[in-house]
Amino acid sequence: MSRLVVVSNRVGPLKDTGRAGGLAVALVDALTQAGGIWFGWSGEISEEGTFGNVRRVGSRKVLLATLDMTQADYDAFYVGYANKTLWPVFHYRLDLAVFDRHAEEGYLRVNDRFAARLRSLLRSDDVIWAHDYHFLPFAASLRAMEVENPIGFFLHIPFPAPEVLAALPNAAQMVRRMLAYDVIGFQSRRDAANFRRFAVEEIGAREADNGDLLLGSRRTVVRAFPIGIDAEGFARQATTPDARRHTRRTEKLLAGRQQIIGVDRIDYSKGLPERFRAFGRLLEDYPENRGRISLMQVAPPSRAELDAYAEIRRELEALTGNINGRFADLDWTPIRYMTRSFTRRALAGLYRASRVALVTPLRDGMNLVAKEYVAAQRAEDPGVVVLSRFAGAAEEMSEALIVNPHSAEEVAANLQTALTMPLDERRDRWQALFDRICENDAASWAQAFLAALNNQGNGQEEKEAS
Ligand code: ADP
């Protein structure tokens, strides 16, 4: 059996720390089964950076191999090109994107150096699986070093419409580099279709009947592999003593009122200001909810060093103050906004205490919060998901109430529907969602991707042999 080599910006943890998400769990499972290496950035900045030694920890079967970055690498690759260029462009925010040639060069340089370091660890029959927008050109870097192993890539964030991507300088070269992968997986069918159309229209790739892309002598499998969570594991977390404590504390505080919950990193893609305004609109348009419904928004800060993120934070604080000032009463605060972080168990308990999950990103690759909320519910009295049509999860979760997050009226009307939904309907919708989330979980996602990669790896070899 071939070893698996996982490549991602951040590596680990190998053990479920109670904070690790389904992704880490699924990858560790896949790595443990096949044996292999998890390769990426150490999270450390050092002078030697990508030129330095690869640090290895872990068991005989699964090795964590990490490299530092220099300050210049970190600024150009991570803060610069990945987070100030690719992240906004891929989330349809050209207005926030910074186009800087030096950042792009740094991004390509770091990919080359990571590839060179990985090459020294590779065996000829290893299967390589790279993750996310930090590594779009990683296979091209490896191929230039004559690495012929099967290499797959999964994009965790959206892939934008070609009209949007075209604004990225050198987008065509980047997509051409991506076609050095044997398999490219996307979160949704829409993302896969966007990629195919760009490749066909802008670089002259040919689309096969099954959706594969052909360019020169290479064939790349292009497909949606919607990522899942460890649904049964998360459901179990919701019944741990720690989770129950959080459910009870919240319910006690609510004293018979209902709660809507939102859980998101603070990011402009998450539609948080729009969400707060929609909640204000609910109180405005359906005044019977005043004094009875509150919004709990859990929003840990991320990428605080970027201006766009500091700005959204200020906006949220102002909006919270505004709405609370306007509607609050002696014994009721409309919005409870918390920027702290919770353990997964505590979070599961909070989901369980909430009648509605409000998941309204303006763009999101998948959105795992929607799935976690479903997994954490009580079968006998489950809550309702109000979900943005622009989250990848909407393709799979049609029993949620699907909304346009830009329309405060529409979101408020759907919140009202969710809050007044009869128990039977809540159960029916929840059961369908829960069954699907258990079936398409993190483990089956990893298996499906690796099956496609192993298959295609063999196909490419046969073609070369003939
Ligand atoms: P993204 O990857 O863009 O942040 P997702 O919804 O796909 O969005 O995943 C977010 C993950 O982060 C979820 O697993 C969620 O439970 C977790 N998370 C978000 N906020 C918190 C918090 N305050 N405490 C703990 N976990 C959180």
| Alpha carbon of residue 296 to chain centroid | 22
Closest-lying ligand 1 atom to the alpha carbon of residue 302: 4
458 lies in some domain: no
* Ligand 1 contacts CB of residue 300 (under 6 A): yes
300 lies in some domain: yes
Are 200 and 273 in the same domain?
A: no
Q: With a cut of 50, say whether residue 388 has pLDDT above it.
A: yes
* Ligand 1 contacts CB of residue 263 (under 6 A): yes
Are 177 and 35 in the same domain?
A: yes
Are 12 and 135 in the same domain?
A: yes
Long-range contacts of 422-429 (CB under 8 A, 24+ apart): 423/381, 426/381, 426/382, 426/383, 426/384, 427/379, 427/380, 427/382, 428/399, 429/384, 429/399, 429/400
Are 168 and 281 in the same domain?
A: no
Lowest mean pLDDT among 84-88, 257-261, 309-313, 402-406: 309-313
346 lies in some domain: yes
β-strand pairing of 127-131 with 55-58: unpaired
Instruction: Check: pTM over 0.80? Answer yes or no.
Output: yes
294 falls in which pLDDT band (50, 70, 90)? very high
* Ligand 1 contacts CB of residue 34 (under 6 A): no
The residue among 175, 192, 225 that closes a domain is 225
Q: With a cut of 50, say whether residue 405 has pLDDT above it.
A: yes
The DSSP string of 407-435 is -HHHHHHHHHHHHT--HHHHHHHHHHHHH
466 falls in which pLDDT band (50, 70, 90)? very low
308 lies in some domain: yes
Quick check: 128 and 149 in contact, CB under 8 A? yes
Q: What is the pLDDT of residue 407?
A: 98
Question: Distance between CA atoms of 7 and 461, rounded to whole angstroms?
Answer: 22
CA–centroid distance, residue 449 to ligand 1 (Å) = 23
Residues near 68 by Cβ (< 8 Å), separated by ≥ 6? 41, 42, 44, 45, 46, 48, 49, 50, 52
161 falls in which pLDDT band (50, 70, 90)? very high
**Residue 447 identity:** Q
Q: With a cut of 60, say whether residue 22 has pLDDT above it.
A: yes
Residues near 63 by Cβ (< 8 Å), separated by ≥ 6? 36, 37, 38, 56, 57
Question: Distance between CA atoms of 398 and 107, rounded to whole angstroms?
Answer: 38
Q: What is the pLDDT of residue 236?
A: 97
Supply the ipTM of this predicted assembly: 0.98
Are 135 and 239 in the same domain?
A: no
**Full domain range(s) for residue 135:** 4-225
Which residue's structure tokens are 């970055």? 69
Q: With a cut of 60, say whether residue 337 has pLDDT above it.
A: yes
Question: Distance between CA atoms of 310 and 306, rounded to whole angstroms?
Answer: 7
427 falls in which pLDDT band (50, 70, 90)? very high
Closest-lying ligand 1 atom to the alpha carbon of residue 364: 3
* Ligand 1 contacts CB of residue 393 (under 6 A): no
Are 188 and 281 in the same domain?
A: no
CA–centroid distance, residue 230 to ligand 1 (Å) = 14
Which residue's structure tokens are 């030096």? 102
Quick check: 352 and 234 in contact, CB under 8 A? no
**Nearest residue CA, atom 23 of ligand 1?**
341
- Mean pLDDT (the chain) is 95
Q: With a cut of 90, say whether residue 25 has pLDDT above it.
A: no
Are 245 and 97 in the same domain?
A: no
Q: With a cut of 70, say whether residue 412 has pLDDT above it.
A: yes
Q: What is the DSSP letter of 332?
A: B
CA–centroid distance, residue 60 to ligand 1 (Å) = 31
Quick check: 127 and 5 in contact, CB under 8 A? yes
Tens-digit pLDDT profile for residues 413-424: 999 999 999 999
Supply φ then ψ for residue 359, to 5 degrees: -120, 95
How far is residue 90 from each of residues 17, 171, 232, 360, measured CA to CA in Å? 31, 11, 31, 17
The residue among 225, 259, 276 that closes a domain is 225
Are 269 and 147 in the same domain?
A: no
How far is residue 52 from each of residues 32, 106, 116, 117, 186, measured CA to CA in Å? 27, 17, 12, 9, 33
128 lies in some domain: yes
Q: What is the pLDDT of residue 203?
A: 98
Q: With a cut of 60, say whether residue 461 has pLDDT above it.
A: no
Q: What value does the mean pLDDT take over residues 275-299?
A: 98
Q: With a cut of 60, say whether residue 386 has pLDDT above it.
A: yes
Structure tokens at 166: 């075209």
CATH of the domain at 174: 3.40.50.2000
Q: Among residues 144, 128, 22, which one has the least CA distance to residue 65?
A: 128
442 lies in some domain: no
In 328-441, where does DSSP find H-type helix?
A: 344-352, 368-376, 408-419, 423-439
Q: What is the pLDDT of residue 13?
A: 83
Are 186 and 302 in the same domain?
A: no
* Ligand 1 contacts CB of residue 347 (under 6 A): yes
Number of domains into which the chain is organized: 2
16 falls in which pLDDT band (50, 70, 90)? low
Q: With a cut of 60, say whether residue 19 has pLDDT above it.
A: no
Q: What is the pLDDT of residue 18?
A: 57
From 154, 229, 237, 264, give the residue whose CB has the most ligand 1 atoms within 8 Å, as the site to mutate.
264
Question: Distance between CA atoms of 343 and 301, rounded to whole angstroms?
Answer: 15
Are 178 and 259 in the same domain?
A: no
Quick check: 108 and 84 in contact, CB under 8 A? no
Are 213 and 275 in the same domain?
A: no
271 lies in some domain: yes
Q: What is the pLDDT of residue 304?
A: 84
* Ligand 1 contacts CB of residue 342 (under 6 A): yes
Q: Strands across the sheet with 218-224, in order?
A: 55-58, 62-69, 36-45, 4-10, 127-131, 151-154, 183-186, 218-224, 213-215, 206-207
454 lies in some domain: no
Q: What is the pLDDT of residue 107?
A: 98
Q: With a cut of 80, say whether residue 411 has pLDDT above it.
A: yes
Q: What is the pLDDT of residue 111?
A: 98
Are 149 and 269 in the same domain?
A: no
162 falls in which pLDDT band (50, 70, 90)? very high
Residues near 212 by Cβ (< 8 Å), separated by ≥ 6? 219, 220, 221, 222
Tens-digit pLDDT profile for residues 99-155: 999 999 999 999 999 999 999 999 999 999 999 999 999 999 999 999 999 999 999
Strand extents, DSSP E, 1-61: 4-10, 36-45, 55-58
